[in-house]
């Protein structure tokens, strides 16, 4: 594929965004019926669904912990969510991301409330256009809140990329593909805790410091939208006349 022009002459990005601008964020809390909690999160063309079941007893008793609930997490992409068909089986990438997403959520979940149970988080990437793991963290955290699982804070994710030497907030797939670095970050803003941090690419120390600042700025905006979306589920209930 030919490398497209990612920073236009007017200084804007290929989709017209400014360097520190998020794609449109859309959030639906309680998108599913059967799950204890659920959320559908979209960052531009990226669409991720998360469902939470539990806390519940599970047949695999040997996994359970005596002093707290365990969290089980699966990040999975639907086979047609990507340009090339993805094999439905779990890839090594998905195994790794299931782990880092779980570890991004563990610090906020008050798992000590439900010893010897499991809280299951199922994440399905419906359409992938960059930032699927960070959208997944946001969706999973909202699904946990929707399930009524006690949490110290919500966790939201966003990625920062470096393209042609410029740091860009919330990179999409095209920018990621031709960029020099991609740094997904997840944060619990009220706790001031960074719970996911990866870097795929090379940054100087100065670039890193700036990239982290940019990510935290974007995360703060997504955090506000997440809180709104949780409240919306109740605010939108109208009194029936």
Partner 1 sequence: MESQEARRVLVVPGEAFAEGDYKVLTPSYVVKVNKKYVAAVVGLAQINNETKEIAVIPLEGCYVPQPEDLVVGYVVDLGLTSWELDIRAPFTATLYAVDFLGRPVNPAKEDLSRYLAVGDTVLAKVEVFDRNRGPVVTTKGKGLGKVTRGTIVEISPVKVARVIGRKGSMHQLLEGETGCEVLVARNGRILINCPNKELEDVLVMAILKIEREAHIPGLTDRVKEFIIREKVKRGLIGGEAKAD
Partner 2 sequence: MSHTPSLELVIPRLKASTIVSILKKGMRSSGRGLMEYRPIEIVPGYVRNADGSALVRLGNTVVVAGVKLEVGSPYPDAPNEGALVVNAEFVPTALSTFEPGPPDENAIELARVIDRSLRELKAIDMSKLVIVPGRRVWVVYIDIYALDHDGNLVDASSIATLAALMNTSLPKVEVDESGNVRVDRGTRASPLPLRNRVITVTIAKAENVMFVDPDLEEESVAETRLVVAVSEDGRIAGLQKSGAGGFTEAEVLTALDIALKAGEELIKKLVISNLGGLKAGSATPTGSSAP
Contacting positions for partner 1 (CB under 8 A): 36-37, 54-57, 66, 69, 108, 110, 113-117, 145-154, 188-191, 227, 230-231, 233-235, 237, 239-240
d(CA 101, CA 103): 5
Show the binding pattern over residues 148-187: x = contacts partner 2 (CB under 8 A), - = does not. Answer: ---------------------------------x-x----
DSSP 157: E
Q: How far is the CB of 195 from partner 2 (least distance, A)?
A: 4
Choose between 3 and 236: whose C-beta lies nearer to partner 1: 236
Among 6, 29, 70, 229, binds partner 2 (CB under 8 A): 70
Among 63, 112, 113, 231, binds partner 2 (CB under 8 A): 63
Sign of CA dihedral 16, 232, 221, 97: negative
Among 9, 61, 204, 238, binds partner 2 (CB under 8 A): 204
Among 14, 21, 28, 107, binds partner 2 (CB under 8 A): 107
Choose between 78 and 191: whose C-beta lies nearer to partner 2: 191
Q: How far is the CB of 201 from partner 2 (least distance, A)?
A: 5
Q: How far is the CB of 148 from partner 1 (least distance, A)?
A: 2
* Interaction between residue 12 and partner 2 (CB under 8 A): no
Backbone angles phi, psi at 99, to 5 degrees: -70, -50
Choose between 82 and 117: whose C-beta lies nearer to partner 1: 117
Choose between 28 and 194: whose C-beta lies nearer to partner 2: 194
d(CA 226, CA 238): 21
- Tokens for 188, please give them: 């619990």
- Tokens for 77, please give them: 């992409």
Cβ(134)–Cβ(86) below 8 Å: no
d(CA 143, CA 139): 6
Backbone angles phi, psi at 102, to 5 degrees: -55, -45
Q: How far is the CB of 118 from partner 1 (least distance, A)?
A: 9
- Tokens for 159, please give them: 């990625």
Backbone angles phi, psi at 227, to 5 degrees: -65, -45
Cβ(142)–Cβ(230) below 8 Å: yes
């Amino acid at each position: 594929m030919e490398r497209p022009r990612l920073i236009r002459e007017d200084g804007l990005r290929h989709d017209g965004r400014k360097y520190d601008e998020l794609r449109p964020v859309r959030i639906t809390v309680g998108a599913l019926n059967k799950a204890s909690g659920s959320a559908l999160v979209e960052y531009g063309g990226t669409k991720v669904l998360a469902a939470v079941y539990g806390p519940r007893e599970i047949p695999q008793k040997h996994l359970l912990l005596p002093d707290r609930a365990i969290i089980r997490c699966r990040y999975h992409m639907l086979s047609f969510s990507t340009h090339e068909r993805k094999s439905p089986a779990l890839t090594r990438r998905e195994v790794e991301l299931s782990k880092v997403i779980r570890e991004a959520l563990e610090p906020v979940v008050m798992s000590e409330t439900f010893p010897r149970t499991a809280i299951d988080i199922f994440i399905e990437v419906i359409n992938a256009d960059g930032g699927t793991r960070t959208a997944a963290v946001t969706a999973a955290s909202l699904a946990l809140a929707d399930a009524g699982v006690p949490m110290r804070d919500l966790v939201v994710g966003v990625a920062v990329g470096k393209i042609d030497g410029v740091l860009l907030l919330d990179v999409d797939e095209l920018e990621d593909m031709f960029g020099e670095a991609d740094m997904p970050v997840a944060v619990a803003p009220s706790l001031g805790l960074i719970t996911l941090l990866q870097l795929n690419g090379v940054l100087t120390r100065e670039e890193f410091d700036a990239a982290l600042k940019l990510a935290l700025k974007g995360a703060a905006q997504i955090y506000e939208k997440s809180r709104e979306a949780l409240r919306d589920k109740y605010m939108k209930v109208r009194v029936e006349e």
